[in-house]
Amino acid sequence: MLNRAGFDAYTMFLFCVFFLLRSLAIFTSQAIFFYIAYIPFVYAIYRFFSTNKLKRQLENSRFLTLFQSFKQWLHLRRTMMTDKQHRYFHCPTCNKALRVPRGKGKIQVTCHYCGTIFEEKS
């Protein structure tokens, strides 16, 4: 096991996808899920025993970057759904999320990131 890439977050994600697809195959009795489940499993085993550590670390860092952006997006959506005192808009130029108070009528919103000014109804 010396000089092996080992177990990282991306490998754990691949194993979770494998178990999810296997469970789906068992509950739905669809053979296609059974066979598709082995694709992430085989790749996870390949990554686990790989000796090219640099390449596996780059793959893991790309996965973590993508996963972090997904977590931030999910957190923003949850906040938008539960926040009853504010309304959320996206800047038409830079697409950043902006928060304004509800019930103020038609207001001018200034993006703090790029300085774009646009009108929205709060």
- Provide the residue range defining the domain that includes 90: 83-122
- In the chain, the percentage of residues whose pLDDT exceeds 90 is 42
Asked whether 53 and 47 are in contact (CB, 8 A), the reply is no
Q: Cβ neighbours of residue 72 under 8 Å, at least 6 residues apart?
A: none
Same domain, yes or no, for 29 and 57? yes
Assign 85 to helix, strand or coil. Answer: coil
pLDDT on residue 62: 94
In the numeric block, which tokens belong to residue 1? 């096991």
Q: Do 66 and 17 share a domain, yes or no? A: yes
Asked if residue 22 and residue 61 are part of one domain, the reply reads yes
Q: Are 92 and 50 within one domain?
A: no
Single-letter amino acid code for the residue at 34: F
Query: In whole angstroms, what is the distance from residue 31 CA to residue 33 CA?
Result: 5
pLDDT at 65 > cutoff 90 = yes
Q: Residue 4: pLDDT above 80?
A: no
Phi, psi of 105 (to 5 degrees): 80, -150
Same domain (yes/no): 75, 101: no
pLDDT tens digits, 73-120: 899 889 888 888 988 888 888 888 888 888 888 988 888 888 888 888
pLDDT at 2: 65
Q: Which of 99, 115, 93 is closest to 107 using CA atoms? A: 99
Average pLDDT over every residue of 24-45: 91
Co-location of 42 and 10 in the same domain? yes
Position 1 pLDDT exceeds 70: no
Query: What average pLDDT does the structure give for the chain?
Result: 89
